[in-house]
Amino acid sequence: MSRETPHLAPFSRQELMVIEAARQLRDGDIVFVGTGLPMLATTLAQRTHAPDVVMVIESGVIAPQVRPTPISVSDPKAMYRAMKLGTLREVLGCLLQRGLIDVGFVGGAQIDRYANINSTQIGPPGAMKRRLPGSGGANDMASHCRRLLIITHHEKRRFPERCDYVTSPGFLDGPGGRARVGLNPDFAVTVVTDLAVMENDPRTCALRIVRLMPGITVEDVRAETGFRPDVAPDLREVPPPDAEVLDRLRHDVDPGRVYLKSEDAVPTAGR
Amino acid sequence: MSRETPHLAPFSRQELMVIEAARQLRDGDIVFVGTGLPMLATTLAQRTHAPDVVMVIESGVIAPQVRPTPISVSDPKAMYRAMKLGTLREVLGCLLQRGLIDVGFVGGAQIDRYANINSTQIGPPGAMKRRLPGSGGANDMASHCRRLLIITHHEKRRFPERCDYVTSPGFLDGPGGRARVGLNPDFAVTVVTDLAVMENDPRTCALRIVRLMPGITVEDVRAETGFRPDVAPDLREVPPPDAEVLDRLRHDVDPGRVYLKSEDAVPTAGR
Amino acid sequence: MLVMPPNKVMTAAEAVARFVHPGNVLGMGGQNIGRCPMALTHEIIRQRVGGLTVVGCNLSLSMDQLAAAGLIRRTECGTGNLERFGTTFSWRRGIENGTIEIEDYSHLAMVSRFLAGEMGLPFMPVRSLLGSDILWAPDGAPKPGKAVITENPWDPAERVVLVRALQPDVSIVHAQRADAVGNVIIEGFATHEPEMMRASQHVIVSCEELVTTDEIRAHPERTTIPFMYVHAVVVQRYGAFPTSTYAYYDYDGGQIGAYQDAARTGSPAIDEYLRRHVWGCGTFDDHLHLATDADRLTTLTHAMQELM
Amino acid sequence: MLVMPPNKVMTAAEAVARFVHPGNVLGMGGQNIGRCPMALTHEIIRQRVGGLTVVGCNLSLSMDQLAAAGLIRRTECGTGNLERFGTTFSWRRGIENGTIEIEDYSHLAMVSRFLAGEMGLPFMPVRSLLGSDILWAPDGAPKPGKAVITENPWDPAERVVLVRALQPDVSIVHAQRADAVGNVIIEGFATHEPEMMRASQHVIVSCEELVTTDEIRAHPERTTIPFMYVHAVVVQRYGAFPTSTYAYYDYDGGQIGAYQDAARTGSPAIDEYLRRHVWGCGTFDDHLHLATDADRLTTLTHAMQELM
């Protein structure tokens, strides 16, 4: 798990994870986004390759020019110079459910083989061990976005074979699952972690490894995943960050390192 | 049909009709009102016995202080110093259908024995002779108000036994009619005309004569009514207007006589 | 992916040519004598885009001119009328002579249909219409497809009507202000327009004033409709004339009356009205030159200011 | 008949005593760290009004303090959390130890329930929740009464969920401005509050500033909620502290953190927090004296102004 690209500025795996997530956004995308790493990555995309990415935030915020670093969907820094401040119904109903959002961008909780998300509880219904915050707008995003982007730290407990509780639907039980329950089957998921990028296999609907973080192997990823992900035929390595992009992330997007972890901000070469 | 109260200022039957309609409103009533005579009567009530009557207008206007004389629900004179200017959904949905309107106040078209209203067409479905404007908010008012107030010129063609087309539900086919179709049965109708005041008989649901305009007899009313209205046991005469009230109507509410007919504004004693 | 073009400003001629097509379901903004999208309506007439299904709550002057021009196949609305100025005569004539199909609703039922449309739902419940003939076809038989009466699953004794979602192909609205990317500010009353605009596949907005996006961002709580819904912005001062624009100018009773006189009598007066005022004018500004003058417009502006 | 009293202004103590009763369904305004109705919440705790069902979209600091005080029987919401400040620990503890019942929804499903409530409808369709465990009871069985899956009558292949209308007995909201008769101006983001307030049987609004009704009438398009829905107006500067009030002051991370530290550890720290900050204070101003000072409040005000 070492990174060996000494000609580049040192960067942490968390930084590259945010940068790689930002790369998933195309200019002009309308992105429904929560705070934390999703908002960091979206802001970074706006300040680098995709200036016309539009953010929509569930508290009723449309097209803000986010100031660093909002810690909440109701933080005024997330509302700075918005084009509209309105209501939850306007953004979750009249944009998201209406089909006008291109990408839903959420942070992780439990994500299973079929990209179902659990943010409600650890332990199955009837045998809860730990209560989590609940859906919020996540179920709505997973139900209505054609593209769902997830950013999360990669560890085994976060990637079970099957979520204890399906808060937000991925592909449910696999091919045809969404159509069977009445959800739009036109759906794609990308999961960006500090070890890899996973996407749903268009045929099986299961998450599979499409890119690896520098220095990470397929076996490293599988060791930290509760199910056994397949590997896409065109497996590649996540490119290291441009110095310019890294600089923007560190100095413009989260200069206070509110979400970027300080302990591995400038990793040593041997990490 | 002569008026013999020479000690009072002369007044037209139309003026007394508006004044009598205003008397139907209680202070504090929230009244959903269209333009024309309903708005005149409501404004008069505000400027006389019921200053805290609140007007709500379908274009999205809440609690205006109407300036004389609005000719449309979208006339800015109907919006003057409103407490809120909003949307049709907010007033027809979130106030009217929500149950927060006390009185719906409409002008007349066809009104039948059971207070059903037709503002859609002359001639039955399939055999239309004349197209009228349609429901507008009238069906909504008749569906959701507990009290419906109607002001209209009294002539036989306006009071058929049965409306050609039920645009807005009164009591439909009589006792139990509203409950049978799923409408709130807690409903009362008052019709103020230039000949009489009619209200629904609580037992039969049919409109009956409860007050007569000065100089008008029950037979005068029946001669101009397409069904035979009963007479309430406590039949009284509509009191003539206070000089003060008449003055307000003429000088504050409709000084330009936009809706008050000029031809009988100051009737001769022999009228 | 919805792209945000940097500039959606175009002429009425360009906007109508690009976004209004024969046979479209056309959402109509404005109400009675307020903020009818007259400039955009004139352009549709000028380009003779026909076979339209016009939808809205109250349909008035703009709809009636489309009817007079023979461009309407069908309407779905709550009312057609101009209140004190009389009914919408061309529409009435079209219905009575069978050239215009109608589907009647109440205002609340229509806005409920737009509400379903803007929220991406297939239908909306409403408690109006029960017991009325509006639910039924003109021949008195139940009308399949218009509305469904259903029970409240939590209280089977309670009935509601389900009305079908309505998502116009294109809506036309005249607003006070907009910016070049399509953020729209409607001042004062807004009738059914917010729901209708958000429900529409395309929206053309004409506006009195073009403002900068910086001005939009300075007061984000005043934006009525954000840019995602809006495809063309047409800057047209007095674009609702002879109807009023709240905070800008009052209606012109004389010009509305002149149209109504022609519409009431029908051919050839109404054809002559359209020939002079629409087809004979290259632009809406030409129509304004013909129908009014600077003094009169100043008077209408002062009349409105006096009410603010 | 709804009477409009000339003056709905009263103290928090009067408002809570009159309108919040044991066992009520309590609609909660605010979201996360923004505009939580802290002054009104403290008063409910001070009067120990218990057995509450707290409903909202995101429930955060105000809900958690009610939970810490043992006043919540049940919640119906989309989330309980404070984002960067962690979860709502007292709520989590209550759920885990079985003292708080929960009914989970998505945010859109909750606002759809308020939408039905504000429109006087028994239910609202929503296309979220399909396929998720949110539709089902904790034991995995279908949960009668929570939601009904139905077909689109116009396209039986299409499914929607019907969620039940929600009309809270009383809602508490902190707003920027209100007048004495109860017209309310919410500035900036408004979350689920407009729908919830219009759906409620009673609404208590606390506000930063009392304005005259003339000021309301001067800008009628800025009124968020008209007076009909509002039963009490409590004037309380910094009434959302330590959460933020848009355009007035930013959140106070230190004070939120102090509460969270106590809530995370539970008894006796959390009891001590409430004893000092709520029960030990006669009014919310006393709490402000204890928890902050004029310099800090000025700093929070400047921090917000810098973002306007």
**What beta strand segments (E) does A45-183 contain?**
54-57, 61-62, 84-85, 103-107, 110-111, 117-118, 121-122, 130-131, 147-152
Q: Which residues of C220-235 are buried (b: 16+ CB within 10 A; e: fewer)?
A: bbbbbbbbbbbbbbbb
Pairing label, strands B147-151, B103-107: parallel
What is the spatial distance between Cα D227 and Cα A21, in angstroms, rounded to a whole number?
A: 47
pLDDT in tens, A201-229: 999 999 999 999 999 999 999 999 999 99
Instruction: Give the residue, C12 or A264, on which the prediction is more confident.
Output: C12
pLDDT per residue, tens digit, chain C (308 aa), is 344 567 999 999 999 999 999 999 999 999 999 999 999 999 999 999 999 999 999 999 999 999 999 999 999 999 999 999 999 999 999 999 999 999 999 999 999 999 999 999 999 999 999 999 999 866 555 566 789 999 999 999 999 999 999 999 999 999 999 999 999 999 999 999 999 999 999 999 999 999 999 999 999 999 999 999 999 999 999 999 999 999 999 999 999 999 999 999 999 999 999 999 999 999 999 999 999 999 999 999 999 999 99
C134, C158, C188: residue with CB nearest B79: C188
Q: How would you classify the pairing of strands A103-107 and A30-33?
A: parallel
Host H or E run for residue A43: helix A37-47
Could you tell me which chain D residue has the CA closest to the CA of B31? Answer: D1
**8 A C-beta contact, residue C88 and residue C80:** yes
Q: Is the pLDDT of residue A265 over 80?
A: no
Tell me: the pLDDT tens digits for A44-101?
Answer: 999 999 999 999 999 999 999 999 999 999 999 999 999 999 999 999 999 999 999 9
pLDDT of residue B126: 82
- The answer to whether D249 and D238 have CB atoms below 8 angstroms apart is yes
pLDDT category, B262, cuts 50, 70, 90? low
D111 CA to chain A: closest CA distance, Å?
Answer: 6
The DSSP 8-state label assigned to residue D128 in this structure reads S
Using an 8 Å CB-CB cutoff, list chain A residues near D58: 73, 136
Q: Which A residues 56-95 touch C at CB under 8 Å?
A: 62-63, 65, 79, 81-86, 89, 93-95
Neighbours of chain D (3+ CB pairs under 8 A): A, B, C
Q: What is the pLDDT of residue B57?
A: 97
Which residues of chain D neighbour C150 with C-beta distances below 8 Å? 153
Whether the per-residue pLDDT at B43 is higher than 90: the answer is yes
Q: Would you place residue B74 in the very low, low, confident or very high pLDDT band (cuts 50, 70, 90)?
A: very high
Name the average pLDDT for chain B.
92
Q: Which pLDDT score is estimated for B269?
A: 34
pLDDT (0 to 100) of residue C142: 55
Is-contact A117 A109, C-beta < 8 A? yes
- The whole-angstrom separation of Cα A42 and Cα A53 is 8
Amino acid at position D227, single letter = F
The mean of the pLDDT values for chain D is 95
Average confidence (pLDDT) over D201-206: 98
Of D303, D282, D304, D300, nearest to D292 by C-alpha is D300
CA distance D60 to D34: 9
Classified as helix, coil or strand, C72 is strand
**Interface chains of chain C (3 or more CB pairs under 8 Å):** A, B, D
- The answer to whether residue A271 scores a pLDDT higher than 80 is no
**From the CA atom positions of chain A, what is the Rg in Å?**
18
Q: Would you call B58 a catalytic residue per the annotation?
A: yes
Does position A125 have pLDDT exceeding 90, yes or no?
Answer: no
Average pLDDT, chain A: 93
Q: When comparing pLDDT for C137 and D70, which is higher?
A: D70
Chain D residues within 8 Å of chain B (Cβ atoms): 1-4, 118-121, 183, 198, 213, 216-218, 220-221, 223, 226-229
pLDDT of residue C139: 57
Q: Using DSSP, state whether C182 is helix, strand or coil.
A: coil
Instruction: Verify whether the Cβ–Cβ distance C148 to D153 is below 8 Å.
Output: yes
Q: Which of B58, B155, B224, B237 is catalytic?
A: B58
Neighbors of chain B by Cβ distance (3+ pairs < 8 Å): C, D
Higher per-residue confidence, C213 vs B3: C213
Q: Is residue A262 very low, low, confident or very high in pLDDT (cuts 50, 70, 90)? A: low
Q: What pLDDT shows up at residue C299? A: 97
List all residues 6 or more positions away from A208 whose beta carbon is below 8 Å from its beta carbon.
Answer: A198, A199, A200, A201, A229, A230, A231, A232
Q: Which two tokens stand for residue D197?
A: 């307030």
DSSP C125-168: EESSSTTSGGGB-TTSSB-TTTEEEEEETTEEEEEEEEEE----
Nearest-CA distance from D215 to chain A in Å?
22
Which one of C106, C137, C149 has the shortest CB-CB distance to B137?
Answer: C106
Given pLDDT bands bounded at 50, 70 and 90, which one contains residue B4? very low
The answer to whether A192 and A149 have CB atoms below 8 angstroms apart is yes
Token pair recorded at residue D235 = 């004037």
Q: Above 80 in pLDDT, residue D144?
A: no
For β-strands A207-212 and A230-237, DSSP reports them as parallel
Q: Are B118 and B109 within 8 A, CB to CB? A: yes
D2: pLDDT strictly greater than 50:
no
Phi, psi of C115 (to 5 degrees): -60, -45
Nearest to residue D189, comparing CAs of A177, A86, A130, C2? A86
8-state DSSP, C227: G
Q: Which of C132, C131, C133, C113 is nearest to C123 (CA)?
A: C113
The answer to whether residue B270 scores a pLDDT higher than 90 is no
Task: Please give the average per-residue pLDDT across D87-116, as a whole number.
Answer: 97
- CA-based torsion, C115, C120, C123, C125: positive or negative: negative
Place A5 in a pLDDT band, splitting at 50, 70 and 90: very low
Please state the ipTM of this predicted complex.
0.96
Token pair for residue A164?
């204890």
d(CA B89, CA C111): 6
Partner-chain residue, chosen from C121, C154, C188, that has the shortest CB–CB distance to D125: C121
Q: Among B45, A130, A57, B162, which residue's Cα sits nearest to residue D32?
A: A57
Give B54's contacts in chain D (Cβ within 8 Å): 4, 228
Tens digit of each residue's pLDDT (9 = 90 or more) over B107-137: 878 999 999 999 999 998 888 999 999 999 9
Please determine, for residue B268, whether its predicted confidence score (pLDDT) is greater than 60: no
